[in-house]
Each structure stands twice: as C-alpha cells, then as structure tokens.
Amino acid sequence: MRKATEKCDKRVRSLLEVVYDFGDAEIDALLLLCGAGEARVGEISKLAGKDRSTVQRLLTRLTKAGLVQREARCCTGPKKGRYFAYSLVPPSELRSRMRARTREWYLDRMAAIEGFRWPQPDHARDNEGRRRATGGEAAEE
C-alpha cells in the first residue's frame, strides 16, 4: 500500500492529515480508489491487505467527508442481489469540497486564535485584585 502513498503530493497528504484528520489508512484507501476508479470493499481490502471491516470503516469515513461516493449495484448472472461500488467524487466536485472544508477549518482555527487568552499565574491574579480593591498599585510583597 505504500506505493500508492508515495505518489501523493506531500501538500495533499498534509491537507488530508490536518484538515480532515485522516491517518495513513484513510489516505491510502483514498489513493487506492483513485487508482482503481471504482471498487468494492472486498477488492480494496485485498489491495490494501486489510480486513474487510477495517476497509468498510475507512470508506464510511471517506464517504462522510464527501470525498468518496457509494453506489448500489445489482448483481448479474447466477448471483442475485446487490453490492456497493465506491469511487471518488468527480474531480471538480472533489476540489470544491476540499476548498470548502479547508475554508471551514481555517475559520475555526482563526476563531480559536482570536479567543485565546494566556492564563495568568495565581500571583498575577492576586495583584490584579489588590489593584482594583485599592484603586491603584498593588502592594509589594
């Protein structure tokens, strides 16, 4: 699975790690889908060398993030029923969603910075309280 990861631009990997909070497993699954075009859970599981349930969790996370789409398909031939095929969302939509998510992440971090206040040590708070009580300078200790 490392070969798929090696082809990923380091900036894209960093974006996925920081903005989406993805680890290597999610990024690798995303890259495998990128190379495969469309795949079932079992196919990705074999390519990734991971358990089906693990791959299912990864794909669910990627789908919830809006980067992967899941489509129900009907089995043809002797086997009846349906299965799900996973693929990346179309490139223009993928870029748009990544831009929007990056913008949300950025605004959230900027709000955190603006709201940040350094905690004051206990003695600084005590002096501040004395200043207010006496209307002037805090007494030297």
**What is the largest distance, in Å, between two alpha-carbon atoms of the chain?**
90
Return the pLDDT at 36.
78
Q: Among the CATH numbers 1.10.3660.10, 1.10.10.10, 3.40.50.720, 3.90.870.10, which is that of 2-117?
A: 1.10.10.10
Return the pLDDT at 58.
93
At residue 25's C-alpha, the angle toward residues 66 and 28, to 5°, is 75
Per-residue pLDDT of the chain in tens (141 residues, 90 and over written 9): 444 444 556 788 888 999 999 998 899 888 888 877 888 898 888 988 889 999 999 999 999 999 999 988 887 767 777 888 999 898 899 889 999 999 999 999 999 999 988 887 776 666 666 666 666 655 554
Statement: the pTM of the whole predicted model exceeds 0.75: no
Give the bridge partners for 39, in sequence order.
86
Return the pLDDT at 12.
83
**Helical residues (DSSP H) of the chain, grouped into ranges:** 2-6, 10-18, 24-36, 41-48, 52-64, 91-115, 122-134
